[in-house]
Structure 1
């Protein structure tokens, strides 16, 4: 079977890394998979990106030009907005490709326009990595226009100016006449698809993001801490996100509140933060903090997960929660809120702790519960690793996609 996976980048960003792993999971299980991207950074011969200087110039120009339209929208929602307005050569290339099936992923950043998606003719699967496909231009939102339809009457009061989200959503409704088969990495995102005004009649399957559990394995904690120059004996609580504490969706403020509940109750506890460098003005979290900066290679991330006693993922919104699955693969328990994609990864009191939604006192209680008993902690580590292999290994995920591909090609 020949399959083409289409994503804006191969390894730059969470969606790209998830797509790249699915691509190699398929290749390892006898699928002739090729990844088609606008930005190729891995140096992988199985990934096809722009080759000529002109193609690279066009890619670099399209994205900021599309972003100019965003300036007409005034919004309190700080997440990325993608109008996807410029048609490209991708539909002609992909329709002519020698492939049995096209598998699109994160195709915004002006890679494919909304009309481009409607012009794809081959059997098609679309894996979502955020909410953009059934929303307006926003990639995440806490309002519910996506359920009701983007009407003038339900525009949120934190928006003004040109209604970019309504205009984008109307273009999707106009151009996407035939339902596509949607895949989501979590039950929460699948439920959103089923509730959306745009896609509620579309078929949807849940297949988690993959991780190579043969490579992502536990590392001896003592060795990991020595290599990362972390304290050898202190209980270490790990937090990490792209941009660290800057993205409100990642919930660093909620973690800070939870740590306030623990002041004076957990002597020796120290925090490790990755995804950002140490800030110019230090934040008093009540405990010593080690900033690991931006880690771009899998080996450094593996060592960091293995060095930690527990990872906390206090996110408000996560389509999946890739850092949580990576931590589990390395045998590290995870503490998170019982919301969005994280319950698909963390099993309460088996592989970690699921706190009541945005209840920071309960989040603090989970930290205490995991770190207060060495025997319990050891069992959680073993369970986390076993769960990751069972649910997210390359074989598990590739087999689920193969079954779906065959079904779609037959139909």
Structure 2
């Protein structure tokens, strides 16, 4: 069976990297299941010959220039307090016709959709695809309106109260922070009209699958949970002392690692919660060996005015290769993910692959990554004091931390091995192919 993955890009952004890793797991392990795999993207950054890139075949250059302008016009007047990306997936791009042609030519027995956004496939083009389809969701867009995530939880909430996807986007369910044309309802209605045939949905986390199952749009579609794969050779433990020496980090101090604080513009990432937790941690560890703690931030250069957290901060700057990030995971004693909303962040899988314990809030797909007090610790959502205590719990006992690190690596080997993930997808492809040939569904 020839599988063709479709994504906006191959390795630009977390969703793209996840989609590419799924594709590569099938390239490397699909033969055992009778599968071949290619990936069709609009924008390519890798030099992988199994990735096909560029604008859709036969696309008129004038139409190509008009598309983003028309998509922008569709948003005119819409205002929202939800900072997440909104995609209308309109107008048609021409990629749908290309995929149908590839199917007729035997190049795509099954199309595997991933993150699309604007400019890849329109909602209507997806609905016209005749071949068997599988769709891995990397966020909530497929069953929502135009938003890729619902509004993040408000202070005092343990989960988002914005669930129009479950209510069916009625006018009465519109949140107070939106104004102008109801872009989310319009987009959701287009999906409901266009997608008449159920698509087999794959969710990387149980949280996302629960959302999809509760959605009005996809609640009765087939839904399977399959985690992302990671290369366990690339993401593997290495000597901590050597990693710190190579990165010019202190050899004996406790090190806490986290992603760029620049994510503070997006409340989903929880940068404000992390800042609060670190301030609390400073008072907790005063007079203990952990008062020597230092912080490492990756993905961001040192700002002109760094925040005063009471601990020395090392900024690694933007990273462009896996080896540097692997060394950072190995150098750290704990990796912190303070997100309010997240699907299955690649960084959590990578950290565990490198034998680094992870601390996060017990929310979203983070509970699929961290086995509480076995491979890290899960704090109470969204309590900075609990987050501070969880970080301290991991760090204060070196023997316990070593056990957490070993268990983290074992969890990565058990759950996120590419060969295992390829086998799980092979089962889904078989089910989707069987469903498409069933007389009752034709």
- Paired position in structure 1 for 2:204: 185
In the alignment, the residues of structure 1 paired with residue 374 and residue 60 of structure 2 have an alpha-carbon distance, to the nearest angstrom, of 48
SS in 2 for 1:183: strand
Query: Which consecutive unaligned segments of at least 5 residues does structure 1 have?
Result: none
Residues 286/62 of structure 1: CA separation in 2 closer, same or farther (3 Å cut):
farther
Aligned with residue 85 of structure 1, among 80, 86, 90: 90
Matched, 1:253 2:272: yes
Instruction: State the secondary structure of the residue aligned to 2:43.
Output: coil
TM-score by length of 1: 0.96
Q: Is the 8 A contact 2:232 2:353 kept in 1?
A: yes
Deviation at 1:403, TM superposition (A): 1.1
Deviations 1:320-340 (A, max 9, x none): 121111100000000001110
Structure 1: distance between partners of 2:72 and 2:249: 41
2:347 maps to 323
Structure 1 residue aligned with 2:145 = 136
Further displaced range: 50-59 or 16-25: 50-59
Provide the rounded CA distance (Å) in 2 between the counterparts of 1:262 and 1:330: 25
Contact 2:90 2:118 in 1 (8 A): no
- The match for 2:371 is 347
Corresponding residue number in structure 2 for 1:41:
45
SS at match of 2:39: strand
Alignment of 1:75-154 (within 5 A): 75-97=80-102, 98-142=107-151, 143-154=162-173
CA distance in 2, matches of 1:167, 1:215: 44
| Counterpart-to-counterpart distance in 1, 2:366 and 2:378 | 8
Alignment of 1:5-404 (within 5 A): 5-29=5-29, 30=31, 31-50=35-54, 62-63=67-68, 65-97=70-102, 98-142=107-151, 143-240=162-259, 243-264=262-283, 265=285, 266-404=290-428
Post-superposition Cα deviations, 1:146-189, rounded to whole Å, max 9, x if no partner, equal: 11011111111111011111111110111011111100000000
Q: Distance in 2 between matches of 1:225 and 1:108?
A: 39
The TM-score normalised by the length of structure 2 is 0.89
Q: Please, which moves more after superposition, 277-286 or 122-131?
A: 277-286
Is the deviation greater in 367-376 or in 67-76? 67-76
Give the gaps of 5 or more residues in structure 2: 152-161, 436-442
Question: Would the alpha carbon gap of residues 343 and 273 (structure 1) be closer, same or farther in structure 2, given more than 3 Å must change?
Answer: same
Conserved 8 A contact 2:56-2:93:
no
Separation (CA, whole Å) in 2 of partners of 1:63 and 1:374: 54
C-alpha distance in structure 2 between counterparts of 1:299 and 1:61, whole Å: 41
Cα deviation digits, residues 8-66 of structure 1 (max 9, x gap): 00000011000110111001112310000000110111000017999697767644652
Structure 1 residue 361: Cα displacement: 1.0
